């Protein structure tokens, strides 16, 4: 650890105090120095400082009697009760003594931060591994007790009820300032998200100590949100959606945009696994059927999810047979959109015209044209349903977004 940071500590400290500085290990070997010729040599005074566990000053006369030592001061570096090396400052002892504690504290702070960062990184990787194991968990093929034990080691009870929320950051082209623009020019959305401190914002929304929040790749996050054992499903989905909407609003203030998927409620590891995949399906389906993607709940796409399981060949044959005449029309897109809105508005002319933002007479014109093309009575739900389903299958199969 000290070897990695020694040169940085030596250079920075030397620039601040205006004297040559060297850093040694616990054996007195110079690891970093503002005088590069001293790296790798023995600094004998360091051995005495570590042995005595206190700083030492050495005049010109004393330093001549020790190997690799110049006049100055040597201070042991302490880390969690152990002495891991020393800081040596070259100069008249009476002059450099005042810099001794500054150099010591700077070195110790930098080392503790490095250890803290490494510990955080290791924990982040362990959590990523845990979530990945949950994502492929199957109680028939995997050891549930082993996975639960790994969760406990990281401070999480995987026996408790959870719901998966996945966040996919979609746009980085609206930047608030030049710093953000520069990060994007470097081609790094991950740096951009780090710069804006996105992860703390996610954790602030999902703030329980039992909430598992991790990043996947450069622009995706997963939250396994803890739920009370006594829950009302309707309230759960409402509360979670409100949290997600709040997060969306906070991100928009930074001009960062995201799609959020909400999975099903998972009462055990199998259920949490299902929730994770359902959340990604919610985004995949939601992006295809909604022109303004933000928060998608898989429970809102029961029909679309069911249709997505139809075999590709059967789906294609059904679409071709049902929409063959309609697709010949030059205004197919306009007519197909009209059918979708007509059905989703309960065949209501007023609601349909409002959603389509057109006059009722224009709506009736379109409906009449569709009936002439297809021969179907659009006011008969059973007659219009095949067209609606065919268009829905087309909608959800237009493009694919792989689950993570």
| DSSP character at residue 291 | S
| DSSP character at residue 301 | G
Total number of domains in the chain? 3
The whole-angstrom separation of Cα 86 and Cα 74 is 7
Residue 330: give its domain's CATH number: 1.10.10.2840
Cβ-based burial of 282 (10 A; exposed 0-12, middle 13-18, buried ≥19): buried
136: CB partners within 8 A, 6+ apart = 142, 273
Which is higher by pLDDT, 118 or 135?
Answer: 135
Whether residue 184 is predicted with pLDDT greater than 90 in this model: the reply is no
Cβ-based burial of 148 (10 A; exposed 0-12, middle 13-18, buried ≥19): middle
- The SS3 call for residue 62 is helix
Which position has the token pair 């001293």? 38
The domain boundary, picked from 273, 305, 337, lies at 305
Which is higher by pLDDT, 194 or 149?
Answer: 149
The whole-angstrom separation of Cα 366 and Cα 363 is 5
315 and 301 share a domain? Answer: no
Task: Establish how many alpha carbons lie within 13 A of residue 162's alpha carbon, considering only the half-sphere containing its beta carbon.
Answer: 32
Helix H or strand E segment including 263: strand 257-266
Lowest average pLDDT, out of 19-28, 46-55, 226-235, goes to 226-235
Report the pLDDT value the prediction gives residue 67, as an integer from 0 to 100.
87
235 and 360 share a domain? Answer: no
Give the domain range for residue 58: 2-114
For residue 133, being part of any structural domain is answered with no
Cβ-based burial of 304 (10 A; exposed 0-12, middle 13-18, buried ≥19): buried
Report the pLDDT value the prediction gives residue 154, as an integer from 0 to 100.
92
Instruction: Please compute the mean of the pLDDT values over residues 180-190 and round it to a whole number.
Output: 48
For residue 129, being part of any structural domain is answered with no
pLDDT in tens, 355-376: 999 999 999 999 999 999 999 9
Angle between helix 144-153 and helix 269-289 axes, rounded to 10 deg: 80
272 and 386 share a domain? Answer: no
C-alpha distances out from residue 304 to 106, 290, 395, Å: 59, 12, 9
Which is higher by pLDDT, 350 or 192?
Answer: 350
297 and 332 share a domain? Answer: no
For residue 403, being part of any structural domain is answered with no
Which is higher by pLDDT, 391 or 196?
Answer: 391
The whole-angstrom separation of Cα 225 and Cα 118 is 26
pLDDT in tens, 58-82: 888 888 888 888 999 999 999 888 8
Which region holds residue 390: left if phi is over 0, alpha if psi is between -120 and 50, else beta?
A: alpha
33 and 110 share a domain? Answer: yes
Report the pLDDT value the prediction gives residue 2, as an integer from 0 to 100.
75
219 and 284 share a domain? Answer: yes
The whole-angstrom separation of Cα 296 and Cα 164 is 12
Report the pLDDT value the prediction gives residue 291, as an integer from 0 to 100.
64
164 and 261 share a domain? Answer: yes
Q: Is the pTM of this model over 0.85?
A: no
321 and 210 share a domain? Answer: no
For residue 146, being part of any structural domain is answered with no
pLDDT in tens, 225-283: 999 877 788 899 999 999 999 999 988 887 788 899 999 999 999 999 999 999 999 99
In the structure, what pLDDT confidence band is assigned to residue 1 with cuts at 50, 70 and 90? low
Report the pLDDT value the prediction gives residue 102, as an integer from 0 to 100.
87
Residue 13: give its domain's CATH number: 3.30.450.40
89 and 24 share a domain? Answer: yes
Whether residue 195 is predicted with pLDDT greater than 80 in this model: the reply is no
Cβ-based burial of 347 (10 A; exposed 0-12, middle 13-18, buried ≥19): middle
253: CB partners within 8 A, 6+ apart = none
297 and 316 share a domain? Answer: no
208: CB partners within 8 A, 6+ apart = 225, 226
Report the pLDDT value the prediction gives residue 306, as an integer from 0 to 100.
87
104 and 51 share a domain? Answer: yes
The domain boundary, picked from 280, 305, 330, lies at 305
Whether residue 289 is predicted with pLDDT greater than 60 in this model: the reply is yes
For residue 127, being part of any structural domain is answered with no
Residue 170: give its domain's CATH number: 3.30.70.270
| Average pLDDT of the residues of the chain | 87
Report the pLDDT value the prediction gives residue 194, as an integer from 0 to 100.
56
Instruction: Please compute the mean of the pLDDT values over residues 189-194 and round it to a whole number.
Output: 53
Which is higher by pLDDT, 322 or 198?
Answer: 322
Whether residue 212 is predicted with pLDDT greater than 70 in this model: the reply is yes
For residue 320, being part of any structural domain is answered with yes
The domain boundary, picked from 290, 305, 320, lies at 305
Which region holds residue 312: left if phi is over 0, alpha if psi is between -120 and 50, else beta?
A: alpha
293 and 320 share a domain? Answer: no
Work out the number of other CB atoms within 10 angstroms of the CB of residue 82: 8
For residue 206, being part of any structural domain is answered with yes
In contact, 226 and 160? CB cutoff 8 Å: yes
Long-range contacts (CB closer than 8 Å, 24 or more residues apart) made by 50-56: 50/26, 50/76, 50/83, 50/85, 50/86, 53/83, 55/100, 55/104
For residue 124, being part of any structural domain is answered with no
The whole-angstrom separation of Cα 86 and Cα 28 is 8
């Amino acid at each position: 650890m000290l070897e990695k940071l020694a040169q940085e500590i030596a250079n920075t400290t030397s620039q601040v105090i205006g004297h040559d500085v060297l850093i040694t290990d616990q054996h007195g070997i110079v690891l970093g120095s503002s005088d590069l010729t001293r790296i790798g040599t023995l600094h004998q005074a360091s051995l005495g400082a570590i042995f005595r566990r206190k700083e030492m000053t050495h005049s010109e006369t004393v330093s001549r009697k020790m190997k690799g030592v110049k006049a100055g001061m040597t201070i042991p570096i302490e880390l969690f009760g152990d002495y891991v090396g020393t800081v040596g400052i070259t100069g008249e002892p009476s002059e450099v003594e005042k810099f001794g504690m500054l150099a010591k504290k700077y070195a110790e702070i930098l080392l503790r931060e490095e250890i803290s960062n490494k510990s955080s990184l290791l924990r982040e990787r362990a959590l990523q591994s845990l979530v990945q194991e949950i994502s492929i968990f199957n109680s028939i093929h995997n050891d549930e007790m082993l996975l639960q034990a790994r969760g406990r080691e990281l401070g999480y009870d995987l026996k408790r009820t959870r719901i998966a929320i996945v966040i996919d950051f979609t746009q980085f082209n609206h930047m608030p300032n030049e710093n953000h623009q520069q990060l994007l020019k470097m081609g790094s959305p991950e740096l951009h998200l780090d710069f804006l401190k996105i992860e703390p914002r996610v954790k602030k929304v999902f703030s329980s100590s039992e909430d598992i929040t991790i990043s996947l790749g450069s622009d995706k996050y997963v939250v396994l949100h803890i739920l009370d054992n006594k829950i009302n499903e309707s309230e759960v989905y409402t509360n979670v959606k409100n949290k997600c909407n709040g997060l969306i609003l906070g991100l928009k203030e930074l001009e960062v945009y995201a799609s959020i998927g909400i999975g099903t409620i998972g009462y055990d590891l199998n259920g949490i696994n299902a929730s994770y995949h359902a959340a990604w399906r919610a985004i995949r389906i939601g992006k295809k059927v909604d022109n303004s993607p933000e928060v998608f709940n898989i429970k809102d796409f029961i029909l679309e999810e069911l249709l997505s399981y139809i075999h590709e060949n059967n789906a294609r044959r059904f679409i071709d047979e049902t929409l063959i005449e309609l697709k010949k029309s030059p205004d197919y897109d306009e007519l197909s959109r009209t059918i979708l809105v007509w059905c989703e508005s309960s065949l209501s002319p007023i609601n349909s015209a409002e959603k389509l933002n057109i006059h009722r007479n224009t709506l009736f014109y379109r409906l009449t044209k569709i009936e002439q093309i297809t021969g179907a009575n659009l006011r008969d739900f059973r007659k219009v349903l095949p067209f609606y389903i065919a268009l829905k299958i087309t909608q959800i199969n237009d493009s694919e977004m792989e689950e993570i």
